[in-house]
Amino acid sequence: MDDALAPCPECGSAYTYESGALLVCPECAHEWEPAADTASAERVVRDAVGNVLADGDTVTVVKDLKVKGSTASIKVGTKVRNIRLVDGVGDHDIDCKVDGFGPMQLKSSVVKKV
């Protein structure tokens, strides 16, 4: 596998080259920033009100949550300690353990940092 550069977004030319932080197309002279490398980009996870969450934070649940495979639901105000930010299933970006329910993944949009 060679590390081919992305083709020019303007004309589709494959003869693009790097010029500093930019990619340049020799055919139409278009210059652009290459797509961000999402693997190395720092991901920011925010709670329901916009606080930035971090590993180890304690949060409370801001709305009743149905739990798959259980008739019980996690109630508003339930405290969840020591969360871990993950790239989970769907929009789930928090890995945690909820008292009485066990380990699960939550969406950051349903919690608030304490």
6 binds Zn ion (CB under 5 A): no
Which CB, 11 or 52, lies closer to Zn ion? 11
28 binds Zn ion (CB under 5 A): yes
80 binds Zn ion (CB under 5 A): no
Dig out the tokens for 107 from the structure.
């969406």
Query: CB of 26: closest distance to Zn ion in angstroms?
Result: 8
25 binds Zn ion (CB under 5 A): yes
Query: CB of 28: closest distance to Zn ion in angstroms?
Result: 3
Report the chain's terminal Cα–Cα distance, integer Å: 48
| Distance (Å, whole) CA 25 – CA 9 | 9
Instruction: List, in order, residues 6 or more apart from 110 with CB less than 8 Å away.
Output: 48, 61, 62, 63, 65
CB–CB of 7/32 below 8 Å?
no
Residues that bind Zn ion (CB under 5 A): 8, 10-11, 13, 25, 27-28, 30
